[in-house]
Structure formats: structure tokens, C-alpha cells
Amino acid sequence: MVTPIVMPKFGQMTEESTIVEWLKKEGEKVAKGETLFAVETDKSVMEVESFKDGTLLKIVVGVGISVPVQSVVGYLGEIGEAIPETPVPERRAPVGAAPVPTAAALSPRGGTPDTIVAAPPAPAVFRVSPRAEALARECVVDPHPIQGSGPEGRVVERDVKAYLDEKDYWSLRVSPAAKALAAKEGLDLLAVRAASGSKRIEVADIERAVAEKPAPMTKMRQVIAQRLTQSVVTAPQFYVTVEADMTNALAHRTRLDGGGARYTITDFIAQASILALKEFPTVNSATDGRNIRWSSRVHLGIVVNLDQGLVVPVVRDADQMTMAELSESSKTLIERARAGGLAPDEMSGSTFTISNMGMLDVENFTAIINPGESAILAVSSTIMKPVVRGDEIVARPMLKMTLSSDHRLIDGAAAARFINSIKAKLEDNGLWNTLTSS
Amino acid sequence: MEHFDVVVIGAGPGGYPAAIRAAQLGASVAIVEREHVGGTCLNFGCIPTKALIASADAFARIRDAKSYGVSVSRAAVDYAAMIDRKDKVVTQLRNGVKQLLTANGVKQFTGTAAFKDRNTIAIDGETLIGAKKVIIATGSTSAKPDFLPEHERIVESRSFLSLDWLPASMIVLGGGVVGCEIASMAATLGVKVVIAELLADILTPLDSDLRAEVRGHMERTLGVRVLTGRPLANISADGDGVRGAFGDEALRADLLLNAIDRRPVTDGLSLDNAGLKANERGFIDTDEYCRTKAATIFAVGDVTGKTQLAHFATAQGMTAAEHAVGQKPRRHPTLVPNVIFTSPEVATVGLSEAGAAAENRVVKMGKFRFSGLGKALAAGETTGFVKWIADAASDQLLGAAAVGPHATELIAAAATAIRAELTARELGETIHAHPTFCEAWMEAAHALHGECIHAAPRRR
């Protein structure tokens, strides 16, 4: 029996997904539980397993096409079985994101190569005569921007000729191999420039143009772009920075290390933040501009940097955990995030986020609030610095933290008190003794 | 102290063109040479070997004249006369270069140059001259490895070329370009030649099909013995001859030619006075504009440790000279043809098959053998082939090689086509005159697309 394979729904918010790789070919045997294809959702890449034995009869949705969840992406069955007719879904832009421009629409024409100029609004249907098209192809020029003078705006040969004259095409000198390569890569010779000092377009120039051709960002980057832009556009953000003396926390951590309990700096900061969030409920809230939604629990987001972008795993109910549990839980989540194995629900629902760049040797930085929250803590490197203690100048390990706050909810004084509460906790030796005694 | 805009150290094929170019561009130029103008190439390398190879070829043609329907009673080799002719050629060229330098107003100094500081050069420790810019073109020289004893029967190429007698037998140590050229020439003149090469094959930078063609011809037609893959051990020499052991085999010959390696000439330059230092292999590091680490000092040719070829040194010399007189800097060209005057000749330019494999580049090849060419048959020269290497996707010609008659001349056409970024299709569509050896390029370009007229189609 032929069974349709559908695009699963990963998590509450997922409306569309894109297949990034088919691990089986058409006509290949598939066992139950084997991976059929990999899907990029708006949060991560997931693998989809076959739910029964059979043969992959047909792939309906190829790689790179975004389709709504529950769409049929292929058929499973036995060899020789007939497949029902299905319309192949058209490429659609990701929901909510700006449409991803295609390379053709972006090829800079007339402008300098580093400015990206959108193509002029083209007529709904592009009409071109075979002769005109052949001439454009022969000249390796994109005919789409040409104004047609034929019936219904059809581009005819004389239009292409006039266009080539107008663009001074005939003064271009192009090496034969460069022209062949440009044709193969679908480039427009008018958009390629010779290297400075040369009037002749050579293979190296085409290779440069190919390398510089705009390409769609990965789904992950598109999501990052969309969410961070949304945050900056909707939330008026301001920043408060403090510097904590880490002498006690570091010494305590070293002592615990000796006893076999391993904590990271992030664990200390996370614990201090959770305690502070209980004291300042406004910071553990969010607003849409009209309503305020307080969260009784702290769901702590921790930014993890990957090669291809960022993910924010969420430690749920972090305020209910002991420090040992918090440490263990965040460690597991971070490891899974690095391995690309987080489920969508493990990456959503945070109420406050920490971004730690301490390992990247930074003095100070600000982070952008995760949409749906009202503040984010940016943690910088611990640096030995001269500080005044009493009347003496002494060297101390100092850590700068900057809180970004949504001013719609949090005023300056509240932000200052909140971040100073974190600082005070970090410097409080007695607190750590209590929290980490087993 | 006399002052110059540009001082060139070394008057070889890197130095003298640099001096002339700088003078053409209006600079006051001096050139310092410790031996003869023309350098190794003109005096002890390219030119004298080619003069002797021409004599050997003339002998071979006359000896084999019968196959062309010409009867000759007896051809004999007068090696001393050949050497005499070679010396005349060298002298004539050397004088020509001197006159060119003089005509361009280049002041010539004889002696060893050394840096006093970045802008002062001492000649033989006496005369001081000032230089705004310096171009180092001191070249390279034969290197004698420690395991070779000092003896008059053990010579390197330079002293070999000044002998006025030929040995009856000869061991050539090192199957590189110099070794194989001299081995071919000597064997043609009747010397029993053994090549001893440490590596697995001779002429190893070449693609294997080219090597096989040259080696096969040298072994079968010239009677050269080629021994590879082992060191020549226990080398000794006395009045009786030279001995060595190649594995279990004991070798004996009248003469041993050391053709192993060359080393850069930087001794006596006092580079440290100019704030420069040779690298661990003795070469002076330069960038693609021929700049050294010192702002006013350039270096070109063998001393830079890049491609050690006279014509590449000349190209670098032009770049350095233009840069030194303040023209807009340009990178030196990198498409360098390589020509080897063995019998048969070999020439390559651009990408090789091995190079394509190393770069994981997908390429197509087109080969055409001279035996399929009317002109080659008519001329009685049918050994070898030409081949193109083109990008599989764009059809761009990336590399070419020729082995066989006139290969060293034929390669120029290929270099021009590659430099102009022609495609194989266009080269094939270019009309080549019939009957000529050059037609082989056109045929090979067709072969690349499986559309050769004068070769049977490959079985599918």
C-alpha cells in the first residue's frame, strides 16, 4: 500500500519546515526507524525516521523548499505501486521572514558591485522572442531588465541590441574562457567588472563574481535576523554595567574543584541571577506594550555559540533546582546544543537569558533582549585589574556584566538594583558556602 | 662615491634585463658582475649545452642520413671542434649583452659586490657606489655534496662543458634536467651513459606519460642505462676511472657528472649589513612583486628559490626594475613554460595532470601523437605527442605539454593560448596551417572533445 510521507510538526510554533537532506534515494529500501530526511525548522535541524518498512517510491519535495507542516513530501510503498498525482508545492518564503531575494533579483546592474540593487518591477509575465533570447544568451547578458517594445511588452531582438549599445556592451573585452564560465554560472557579463588596472574580464573576475553572488542565509540565520530585529524594533533597550570582584567566587570554585564538584563561572552567575529574579519579579516578566505577563517560575536561557549561529537552550524551572541540579541540567543542555540535538521545546519559553562571552576575552559588551523577555545579562571576561581596597591598590579578578533592559517594563533604578543584587551575590562567600554544601 | 638610481648585482638573465629595463625607464643604472655577463645561462648552462646539442643533432642526422635517401661515407665526431664552436657562440652572445648594456648607458663594474649598508655597495671591498634601489640577481651555482670526493674525473656541468674531450663512458649522478640533457647529448655522440637517480624515476616533476616517453627513447634509441630508486654509494675515483655501487651492482666509468643540486649564491653579499637574511635554505625571500624585507632592495632569479629558469628570472627582473624606478607595481607573471632539451625534447606550461589531481580539479585531457601527423611522417620525426589539460566544466585550457620533435618551440603557442584564456573548443576552431607540427595542438584540442579527425575514435 502506498503511504504518503508528511512533514511533521515540530513543536507548537512551527508552521513550515525545509528539508535540508534526503538520506534515502528514490527506489531505495527503507527499514522502520531508519532516517528518511533531515529538516531545518525555525529552531534547529531534526531527523525524520520512517514509521514503517518499504521502498521510498517518490520524493515530492526536494531539498531547500519550505513547505507547510503536514504537507506530503514523498511516498513510501512497494516497488511497482502507482503513486497518486500530487501538485508539487512551489517554493515559498519562510513565514514571518522577509522574502529571500533570489540571486537574479539581486545581481547588481549599473550600480557598483557592492551595492545590492533590487531589480525594477518587472511585468507580471516576462515575454521574450526566441531570437532576442538567443542573442542575450550568446552575449551572456540577463534579458530580464530589458524594456520590451514588442506586442504586450515582449522583448524582441532590436530591444536587446539597443540595450547592449546603451550599456556599452561592445566595449567589454572578455576572455573566451571567462565568457564560457559566466554562461555556465548564469552570470550577467554586464554585472561583472574587470580587476582594477585591467580592461579585460578574465576568469579570475568571473570567479570573484561567482563567489560574491548573493545566496540565501541558512534558516537558522534567518531566524536569528528576524528575532533580533524584532527585539530591537519593538523594545526600547538601555544598558547598565557593573563590575564584580570574583576573588571569593573563584576561590570557592577552586575549593569545590578539589572536592570533585565542578562548577563553571556561568553556573555561579546563573544561580545569582535566579535568586535576584525572585527578588525583582518585573525582570522575570514580559510585555507586548499593553499587558504585563509575570512568570512565577524562572526559565533560564543560556546562549550557546555554534559555528553556524546561536541557539538558546532553556533550563526550565531553574528556580526550583539546587545549584548542583542547575549545573548538571545546563551542562547537559549545552552539550546537546553543541551536538545539534535539542528539541524545539528545549529552545523556547525562557523568561531571562544569560550570554557569557567570558571565554572570548572581552572587556564589556551588550546583548540584545530575546523577544518575549524583558532583560538579558551580558557577561564578559574575568580580568586581573588594579582596584582600590581600603587605601591600597590591589590586583583583583574583575568581571564586567551589562544588563540590557526593556524600558517599557523596567526603569533605570530597577535595573541598577537588580544587577547590583547579582553582583552582591557573586561576592558573597557565605552564600556560596550554603548553596554548594552537600 | 658615485651614485645610481638602481644598482643590479649579477649580470645573468635576471640581472641584465633588469638593468636595461631600468635604464630604458630613465634611471641611472650600474651593474656589478664578478665573472662574465650573461651569467650561468649564457656562459655555463642553457646556451653552451644547446650549442653542443645542436652539434650532436647534426651528427645524428648525418649518421642517419640513409633513412632520408642520402648516402654519406662516414660521419665522425670532432669534439674539440664542437667545443670550439660552442665557445664562439658564447663569446658572441656575451659581447652582444655587453654592447646592449653599454648602448643603454648602464655602467658595468667587474668584481664581487657586498652591502656596506642598505644604500651602499662595495665592489671587491674597494670601490664604493651609492644606490637608491638595489636588485639582487646573484643566481645559483652547482653544489657538491659531501659524499663526492675531490677528483678531476668528478665534474659538475660547468667544468664538463669546458672539457675538450669526451669520455668513453660516463655516470650521470642525478636524473634531473641538467643530468638528462647532458646524458642525451653525450649518448648521441657515442658515450656509454649510465644515469643514477635516487628517486623512483628521472625527471620526476613531469607527468608520468611524458617521463615514460623520454625515458623509453633514451633507453631504447640512445642506449642510456637508467638506474633509479637507490643512492649511488661508495664513490671513489683514481687515474683509472670512477667507481660506485648502485645496490649490488658495481659501476665503473671514465667520468662522473654531478648533476644533483644547485645552491643560491649569497656568500660575500654581506646581506646582514642591509638588514636582510637568507632563509634556512640559503635563498632570499621575496613576494610576488620581487620585494625583499628591505624596502629599497629587490631580488630576482634563482637566488629567490622560486622557479629556477632563465626566462622566469627575466620576467622577475622586469617587474623588479619597473618597481624600482617607481612605476606602478605589478605582480610578476606566473605562467612559466618549462623546456627540457633531452632527446626527445619535453616542454610543459601551466597545470599538469598531477597538479590537477593535487588540487582536486576536474579536468579533461586531449592527446595527439605525432605519428598521426603528416608533417611528422614527412620529416621522419614521429616520436612523442602533445596534450592539453582543460577545465571539465568551462573548457578553459589550463595546461599543455609536448614531448617530441620541436616540443620546446611548440610550447610557445600553448602558453599564448593559456594566457589568453582560450577554451579548447576555440583552439580547435583556430585554423592551423597544414602540414606543420603545430597542427598537433589543434588535433589534441579536438581529441579533448572526442572529435579528432585524424585519430580513430576511442571505444565507448
The better pLDDT of the pair B277, A340 is held by B277
Q: What pLDDT, on the 0 to 100 scale, is given for residue A43?
A: 59
By residue range, what is the domain housing residue B176? 146-259
* Alpha carbon of A171: minimum distance to chain B alpha carbons (Å): 18
For residues B141 and B129, is the Cβ–Cβ distance under 8 A? Answer: no
Q: Stretch A211-230: mean pLDDT, rounded?
A: 87
Query: What is the value of pTM for the model shown?
Result: 0.71
Question: Would you place residue A108 in the very low, low, confident or very high pLDDT band (cuts 50, 70, 90)?
Answer: very low
Could you tell me the three cell numbers for A190? 554586464
- Do residues B92 and B198 share a domain? no
SS3 category, A47: strand
Q: Which residues in chain A have Cβ-Cβ distances shorter than 8 Å to B330?
A: 197
pLDDT of A117 strictly over 60: no
% of chain B surpassing 90 pLDDT: 87
- B336 belongs to a structural domain: no
Task: Identify whether residues B126 and B34 lie together within a single domain.
Answer: yes
The helix/strand/coil state of A326 is helix
Are B162 and B249 within one domain? yes
Q: Mind telling me how many Å the CA of B457 is from chain A's nearest CA?
A: 26
Please, are residues A265 and A359 in contact by the beta-carbon 8 Å criterion? no
- Between CA A325 and CA A318 the distance in angstroms is 9
What's the rounded Cα separation, in Å, for the pair A328 and B413? 71
Contact B384, B213 (CB under 8 A): yes
> In angstroms, rounded to a whole number, what is the distance separating the alpha carbons of residues A318 and A330?
9
Shortest CA distance to B441 belongs to which of B405, B413, B408?
B413
- Tell me the pLDDT tens digit for each residue of A60-69: 888 877 787 7
Mean confidence (pLDDT) of chain A: 85
Is the pLDDT at A319 greater than 50, yes or no? yes
Residue B239: phi and psi, rounded to 5, are -60, -20
- Residue A74 forms beta bridges with which residues? A5, A59
CA distances from B409 to B385, B389, B412 (A): 14, 19, 6
Q: Cα dist. B119→A45, B30, B295 in Å?
A: 64, 13, 11
- The predicted model gives B224-228 an average pLDDT of 96
Tell me, yes or no, if A407 is annotated catalytic. Answer: yes
List chain A residues with CB under 8 Å of B421: 175-178, 202-203
- Given a cut of 70, whether residue B319 has pLDDT beyond it is yes
DSSP result, B384-453: -EEEEEEETTT-BEEEEEEESTTHHHHHHHHHHHHHTT-BHHHHHHS---SS-TTHHHHHHHHHHTT--S
- Domains of chain A, by residue range, sit at 3-77, 103-212, 219-436
Residues B110 and B155 in one domain: no
The predicted model gives B16-36 an average pLDDT of 96
Total domain count, chain B: 3
Burial A233-246 (b: 16+ CB within 10 A, else e): eebebeebebbbbb
- Which of residues B6 and A35 earns the better pLDDT score? B6
* Band of residue A114 on the pLDDT scale cut at 50, 70, 90: very low
For residue A12, name the pLDDT band (cuts at 50, 70, 90): low
Residue pair B127/B109 in contact by the 8 Å Cβ criterion: yes
Task: Tell me the per-residue pLDDT of A389-421, one tens digit each, with 9 for 90 and over.
Answer: 999 999 999 999 999 999 999 999 999 999 999
Which of A188, A406, A407, A428 does the annotation list as catalytic?
A: A407
Higher local confidence (pLDDT), A321 or B451:
A321
Choosing from B231, B259, B287, the residue where a domain stops is B259
Range of A82-91, A190-199, B200-209 with top mean pLDDT:
B200-209
> Is residue B180 assigned to a domain?
yes
Query: What CATH number is given to the structural domain containing B209?
Result: 3.50.50.60
Q: How many CB pairs under 8 A join A and B?
A: 32
Indicate whether B173 and B308 sit together in one domain. Answer: no
Q: Are residues B51 and B122 in the same domain?
A: yes
Residue located via cell numbers 607527468: B207
Section A342-349 average pLDDT: 88
Cell numbers given for B276: 636582510
Chain B hits for A175, Cβ within 8 Å: 420-422
**Bridge partners for B227 per DSSP:** B196
* Domain boundary residue, one of B273, B294, B324: B324
Are B411 and B304 in a shared domain?
no
Q: Which of B328, B330, B396 sits opposite A177 (nearest CB)?
A: B396
| CATH code at A103-212 | 4.10.320.10
Among left, alpha and beta (phi > 0; psi -120 to 50; other), residue A416 is: alpha
Confidence class of residue A245 from pLDDT cuts 50, 70 and 90?
very high
The mean predicted confidence, pLDDT, of chain B is 94
pLDDT for the residue A105: 33
B318 with B360, same domain: the answer is no
- For residue B291, CA distances in Å to B136, B276, B285, B320 come to 10, 12, 8, 8
From the list B314, B335, B354, B333, the residue with the least C-alpha distance to B411 is: B335
Which residue in B80, B47, B347 sits closest to B189, CA to CA?
B80
Higher pLDDT among residues B341 and A59, named by residue: B341
Nearest CA in chain B to A185: B394
Q: In the prediction, which pLDDT does A92 show?
A: 43
Same domain (yes/no): B134, B6:
yes
Mark whether B109 and B96 lie in a shared domain.
yes
CB contact under 8 A, B395 and A203: no
List pLDDT tens digits, range B431-447: 999 999 999 999 999 99
Same domain, B367 and B438: yes
In the prediction, which pLDDT does A85 show?
65
What percent of chain B has a predicted confidence (pLDDT) above 70? 99
CB nearest to A177's CB, from B328, B330, B421: B421
What is the DSSP code string of B278-340?
--TTSPPP--TT-B-SSTTEEE-GGGGTS---HHHHHHHHHHHHHHHTTPPP-PPP----EEE
- What's the pLDDT tens digit per position in A140-173? 999 999 999 988 889 999 999 999 999 989 888 9
Classify residue A23 by its DSSP letter. Answer: S
SS (H, E, C) B400-418: EEEECCCHHHHHHHHHHHH
Active-site residue, from A165, A257, A288, A411: A411
- Cβ–Cβ under 8 Å, residues B341 and B181: yes
Residue B82 lies in a domain: yes
Its CATH architecture, for the domain A3-77, is: Beta Barrel (2.40)
Residues B377 and B417 in one domain: yes
ipTM, interface predicted TM-score of the complex: 0.70
Query: Does any domain span residue B416?
Result: yes
CB contact under 8 A, B420 and A175: yes
Cα separation of A173 and B375, whole Å? 36
B282 within some domain: yes
Residues B137 and B301: beta-carbon distance below 8 Å: yes
Is CATH 3.30.559.10 what the domain over A219-436 is classified as, yes or no? yes
Chain B nearest-CA residue for A173: B420
CB B6 within 8 A of CB B288: no
